[in-house]
Structure 1
């Protein structure tokens, strides 16, 4: 299969979208598929208002058309609803190239959190975007139910994986902080609801690994929280393994790859009972979901790291890539059946 993935989120950004797309691209290429990525690194960019770490591509429809056509794809997967995604969708509809999309981010909620615009307006745009392809991939059953209720069609399930060789328990790991250590990893941005974690009255230490536009403000307000900045690879794995509980305060994530990384590292999870956590933390032995996040965090201290690790080993990037590929084939199969 010759596949072109179009995404507005790509390196050097560090987030779940980039990580997921990079991992499945690597797996598919290893299995013999020809996969190209059309991302902002090919074009001139400008910083996104309110979030300068995200770069928006400055490109016209003609150039996107030439770039996609040069790849001669059998299929196009459009991962994001940004400038590149919108132009790729337009070209695919115009030329009849089969394409799928994926719903990674609660774009309407994120826009409303930053600008005085009704969520319903953004949902109308996003729904039209995703309903025009052969299918829209979603990570969890809860998200599928939510989007179905909002009028999204042709939804396909695509879960995620974890690198269990990198993220694993390390008894020697040590952050040299008072225990117990409650950890959060991810973008430090308003939509992640980190204030809820930072404000918790917990024993020991609260640690945030990551960076983003909200970091300076949160550090000033919560000087007793340890902000360690962005970490990758071995350093990140060591940070996970140094903690006792992973606290996930987000109410807007559609999955939460960090949940699997924490579990694989032997960390039980504490989170709100919302889309994402309630689809990942399906075994009460590996995490606690509660509307009272402090109660959940303290209860998670009593859970077994070995159980968390064993649970996470049920997820792999190979299985995730297989589901992704099967969704593409199913979309084309449905299209052929309709044409017949």
Structure 2
């Protein structure tokens, strides 16, 4: 039986797309007969991330992380994040000649430069250094693949995402969902600077706005937008019922690499309004009946009211965690078959290119 150890700095109690993607992929890998083990922050002491205390940064020596990986005796290693655990696992793999794969889940340079005065060119140099040492870097979409290739990332392979179409389904809509007048414009996700929520909340729209989720910007945004309903976190059936009550799902972010919440909304029969950027454009570009892409998000929101809930659902049904899990496993197997042991020079080159 093949065994994969997945190393990730993003794990419970965090609630985000990275964690959900890993959880769902692990379930499918197990169904495919693969033994999955995890190295996560749960096993180590941690400190709050500066400017983002909800995210914990692990404090662990190389010896402790190495011992965790070796305890699992993996056939393959996948490094999901560029944080402290990911960096240490990368070092272990290079020292031991273990081919490994990585994934570009998050626009790390954009998120850091929005909070700290660090040039994006330097941060992308780090991204190249980190991912190019591996045998494959997994990305979710074609547009992201093209963007990263232009920035010097090599060995890029595709790993899409899925949605639970049994959980997220269309439902009869209440006349006054949440006690609010229709049309109901909703967004779901982490409430943080990089999600561009004011780009949605500032819009002059009819009806009501609802934000589902939590994060470091929640208290401030609640004060700034008293007419918006902030529900906090929702999970499982409760979240699915909430999605299904929306008339339009609004995705204001310009920095996500995919947007799992987009396909959850589509599965709920809710058309999507978004900017034409990586993630939304890859999902919706060829399916104009399921949602609207526009540089002017207000125009997208208003036009999406006329889009088709049936088309939205049909599009979501093309995304399954089963196929995404198989794609992930194939990527790992092919990358390992290359048995490409990076030279120390290639693994440690750190070139800064113009941004």
TM-score (norm 2): 0.93
Structure 1 window deviating more from structure 2 (74-83 vs 175-184): it is 175-184
Deviations 1:290-312 (A, max 9, x none): 00000000000001111101110
Instruction: Look up the SS of the partner of 1:55 in the other structure.
Output: strand
Match of 1:209 among 207, 212, 216: 212
Q: Partner residue of 1:189?
A: 192
What's the offset of the Cα at 1:176? 2.4
What is the match of residue 26 of structure 1? Answer: 27
Q: CA deviation at 1:334?
A: 2.5
1:255 — aligned with what? 258
In the alignment, is the contact (CA less than 8 A) between 1:101 and 1:136 conserved in 2? yes
The answer to whether the Cα contact below 8 Å between 2:99 and 2:340 also exists between their aligned partners in 1 is: no
Whole-angstrom CA distance in 2 between matches of 1:111 and 1:56: 14
Counterpart CA distance in 2 for 1:219 and 1:83 is 33
Distance 1:176 1:170 in 2: 17
In structure 1, the gaps of 5 or more residues are none
2:349 alignment partner in structure 1: none
1:172 Cα offset (Å): 5.1
The equivalent residue for 1:109 is 110
Gaps of 5+ in 2: 343-355
Q: Deviations over 1:136-163 (max 9, x none)?
A: 0000000000000000000000000000
Which one of 231, 235, 240 corresponds to residue 238 of structure 2? 235
In structure 2, C-alpha distance between the alignment counterparts of 1:61 and 1:154, rounded to whole Å: 27
The equivalent residue for 2:76 is 75
Matched residues in 2 for 1:252 and 1:219: separation? 22
Q: For residues 216 and 114 of structure 1, what CA distance do their matches in structure 2 show?
A: 18
1:244 is aligned to: 247
* TM-superposition CA deviations, 1:35-62 (whole Å, max 9, x none): 0011001111111111111111110101
2:301 corresponds to: 297
Aligned residue number for residue 277 of structure 2:
274
Alpha-carbon separation, structure 1, partners of 2:326 and 2:218: 37
Aligned residues: CA RMSD: 1.2
What are the within-5 Å matches in structure 2 for residues 141-152 of structure 1?
141-152=142-153
**Structure 1 residue aligned with 2:336:** 332
CA distance in 1, matches of 2:293, 2:194: 19
Greater length-normalized contact order (CA 8 Å, ≥ 6 residues apart): 2
Structure 1 segments of 4 or more deviating over 6 A?
none
Contact 1:80 1:104 in 2 (8 A): yes
Aligned residues: 338
Equivalent residue, structure 1, for 2:225:
222
SS in 2 for 1:160: coil
